[in-house]
Amino acid sequence: MEIIIAFIVLLVLLLFGIPIPFAFFASTITIVVFGGYDLAFLIPYGYSKAGSFTLLAVPLFILAGAIMEKGSIGEKLVDMVEVLVGRVKGGLGAVGVVSCALFGAISGSGAATLSCIGSILFPRMAAAGYPRAHSAALLSNACVLGLLIPPSLNQILYAFVGGQSVLSCFLATVAPGVMLVILLSACNFFLLRKNQDIKITERYDAKTTTKLFAKRTVSAVPALLCPLIILGGIYSGAMTPTEAAAISVVYAFPVGFFIYRTLKVRDLKGVMLNSGTTAGVILTMLLSVMMLSRLYVMENVPSMILNFLTNISENPAVIMIFINIFIVIIGMIMDDTSAILLTTPILLPVVLAIGVDPVQFSAILGVNIGMGCVTPPCAPFLYLGARLGNAPINPMIRDTMFYIAFAWLPTLIVTTYVPGFALWLPRLLLG
């Protein structure tokens, strides 16, 4: 009974806009009070978990992403991609999708990706005749690629809470991320096929295009090297994720200050404050979630959920449908980081019991929560995109439902029911 009361407390507080760390703490206290547990044992447990060396990667990656966002890296990536697909009808939309994927690999954050790429592309797309609602909906959906394309902060948190390899979880989300890039770009072209207002810039001959692409690629190389250094260091075994995160911070400063020369000393205070605040919120949430997950285990919550689902059906495929629906709902009412932290300790034992690989589940969780972030009525990224793009929300919702039906759901279905889709890369590189 105390678990049900605690879950109701959590949902009510979230709906009333209480900050998520406080909502988690309130849910924890509810179980402690009604279940007769002792906080003197829970707090040291949560502190010991939250003090892990691996978690140092979280604030470091956040800081590196913030520095890169200030350093005009997004603009260099957009300029490079635009040479390839920007001169066909709807091409600028595809530029936005690919740019979100590339910048997401640098920042690891959906919100930072939308803010950076949106500020660059919204004016360009408006000047090219793109409907504002279409542009905002497309980039709002594409920015979620920052949660999938490694290095992803959410995958670090999933691996930590679930006791999995960070490297394996990074690799598992690559194929779903690439599939989403392809499907979102295809949906963009389809939705604009009859739009006569789209302006197409002048096409260059092959020689001019090659020269322009080479020039812009050279300019974008410092930006592209960041994820290559990070992932190459981790995959080769030369660096741990935490060490790679520290290297990314060290690398980001000279790129912003001396190569692109867009990062100023006066920007550092704001970058440090914003990064510290974000990291503090995440680590505070992690402390409360560690205590909450311990209580869930002691209350046998995963077994209760498994028994409930197996009473409905013993078919693992059917059980995964209910699990996916639950994750999407959680993703609709919480931010992506909170959703990862809440669902991992509850659902990981359940999917393990029905034979789902924990590394595959990291990809399922990533796609599912990403879809939840753009699924109405809550859709936090959708409303952020509407505000940044100065777009009406109703037409955005219509386009988003199209993206969900023909991009998100196919990716989720394949990731859920074809284990090799998410696991082939981890198996290829890690055995």
| 72's tokens | 């005009």
Q: Of 82 and 429, which is predicted with more confidence?
A: 429
CB contact at 8 A, 388 and 114: yes
Q: What is the pLDDT of residues 374-390, one digit of tens each?
A: 887 777 788 888 888 88
| 34's tokens | 């009604």
pLDDT band at 417 (very low <50, low <70, confident <90, very high): very high
Mean pLDDT computed over 15-20: 76
Mean pLDDT computed over 272-295: 80
CB contact at 8 A, 220 and 77: yes
Q: What percent of the chain has pLDDT over 90?
A: 23
3-state helix, strand and coil shares in percent for the chain, rounded to the nearest 5 = 80, 0, 20
Q: What is the pLDDT of residues 93-145, one digit of tens each?
A: 888 898 888 887 777 677 778 877 888 888 888 888 889 999 999 999 998 88
Predicted confidence at residue 87, as pLDDT, reads 65
Rounded CA gap, 302 and 347, in Å? 7
Predicted confidence at residue 239, as pLDDT, reads 83
User: Dihedral of CA 124/92/62/387: which sign?
Assistant: positive
Three-state DSSP state, 109: coil
Rounded CA gap, 139 and 110, in Å? 10
Q: What is the pLDDT of residues 48-86, one digit of tens each?
A: 766 677 777 778 877 877 777 676 676 777 777 777 665
Rounded CA gap, 204 and 196, in Å? 22
CB contact at 8 A, 117 and 81: no
Single-letter amino acid code for the residue at 74: G
| 122: number of Cβ within 10 Å | 21
Q: What is the pLDDT of residues 191-209, one digit of tens each?
A: 988 888 777 766 666 677 7
Single-letter amino acid code for the residue at 319: I
Q: What is the pLDDT of residues 333-362, one digit of tens each?
A: 777 787 888 888 889 999 999 999 999 999
CB contact at 8 A, 301 and 3: yes
Rounded CA gap, 120 and 84, in Å? 17
Place of tokens 């059980």: 319
Rounded CA gap, 220 and 184, in Å? 24
| 276: number of Cβ within 10 Å | 14
Alpha helices (runs of H) in 36-72, residue ranges in sequence order: 39-50, 57-70
Q: How far is CA 282 from CA 60, 113, 155, 287, in A?
A: 12, 18, 13, 9
CB contact at 8 A, 428 and 384: no
Q: What is the pLDDT of residues 149-171, one digit of tens each?
A: 887 888 888 998 888 988 899 89
Place of tokens 């003197």: 40
CB contact at 8 A, 90 and 134: no
pLDDT band at 245 (very low <50, low <70, confident <90, very high): confident
